[in-house]
Structure 1
């Protein structure tokens, strides 16, 4: 009876510990294919950065709770404590580092330009001088385009889908965005009516990382330790390779 009582007590303690497992609230956006998007079959967030956040949460013995919002709302949500971490296709820029802390970089890439599918032109950035171009609000690309000061207008959009629509309709000459995201969307949806500009030289390259609040250095340390372990084991490469990255 004593052994049985001890076994029951151990099981109850395990259940209690599991029930008290801490949530890790992760901010994601649904417009960042293949980094973060919604699986149409399950209607759940998915993508490389979603899988990465889930793997980190598991390593930290936490339960991932994904909070979907617009890209431009991610940092404000982190600053106000609505989420614990951002795991999206977000560059760790100097400007963003002023308000949030970033993890070890997990991926790097540059921007790309896209035009109407029937546009036979060969363009570099300066070739769009005097034109109306578009970028997603809150992105480094939008800031870089505006800083150039050579365009008739830099229109800001909430989503890449909206930019592609206006390019396809001829409302703007070109759109700019994350190369792997744009390339993936065009490859998956050939009827979008837009194409990548071949030979385009990016304005620069950036490093993608997870972001945490400056008030939570403990979490940052744990996230970095988890990333280091996944790099060593090859799991990090597997996660990104699954989405063609």
Structure 2
């Protein structure tokens, strides 16, 4: 259980540039934002890394105090957990291999084998919006991308900033973005239902928007002009 005074924050921590392991430490946009939030709350915090699908159950059982893991704010989740106000606008896109000639637009995803990370909203999106698709659910987005590169899937659907970061770095020359984007979504901090941390977190986020800290962190990780 979370220790009194110290916030235990759950994250998948496998998604550059949002949250990832960098040598012997964790880095990323999400963690920099929450570090400022924790300062505003006058609370120490530590990161608990776990698979994405385990985060909400861990929050509900009190094993963690918050989720900071590019968590999309969706009605189905709002029924079981509380969210802070949004601190970033993200969304879903699809990528395929550069040599794939059968997928040019989002409509071409129909009937294809599509990989993504298990437990994410991308799974629900594919089920609901991509006709006849076979979903390959992997334990991490990195594994999903490796499966794509190996030819075991036709495409990957996942969070736009993560896939664009991958395409500009480790996946450069290997994948291409499928246009148009699939869905736009807000990202927030997840809390247990009724958590007293929601209101003060929103107050800190509002202050960060007002004084430019949130914009500065966003531009550090995503560039000038990022949403």
Residues 26 and 183 (structure 1), Cα distance of their counterparts in 2 relative to 1, 3 Å cut: same
What residue number does 1:219 align with? 197
What residue number does 1:187 align with? 168
More helix by share: 1
2:129 to 122, 129, 148: 148
2:187 to 208, 212, 227: 208
1:73 to 54, 64, 70: 54
Listed one character per residue, the Cα deviations across residues 123-181 of structure 1 (whole Å, up to 9, x for unaligned) are 22221222111121111121011123612411111111111111111111111111111
Listed one character per residue, the Cα deviations across residues 188-220 of structure 1 (whole Å, up to 9, x for unaligned) are 2146832222xx12232100000111131x210
Is the radius of gyration larger for structure 1 or structure 2? Answer: 1
- Return 5+ residue gaps in structure 1 as ranges: 1-19
Partners of 1:121 and 1:211 lie apart in 2 by: 38
Partners of 1:114 and 1:204 lie apart in 2 by: 14
Moved more, 185-194 or 23-32: 185-194
1:33 to 5, 16, 22: 16
**Displaced runs of 4+ in structure 1, greater than 3 A?**
none
1:128-147 paired onto structure 2 within 5 Å:
128-147=109-128
TM-score normalised to structure 2 length: 0.91
What residue number does 1:13 align with? none
What residue number does 1:235 align with? 213
What's the CA shift for 1:122?
5.3
Listed one character per residue, the Cα deviations across residues 41-84 of structure 1 (whole Å, up to 9, x for unaligned) are xx222111101111111111111111111111111111111111
Q: Give the CA RMSD over aligned residues.
A: 1.8
Partners of 1:209 and 1:108 lie apart in 2 by: 9
Partners of 1:21 and 1:58 lie apart in 2 by: 16
What's the CA shift for 1:92?
0.5
Alignment size in residue pairs: 221
What's the CA shift for 1:237?
0.8
Residues 21 and 163 (structure 1), Cα distance of their counterparts in 2 relative to 1, 3 Å cut: closer
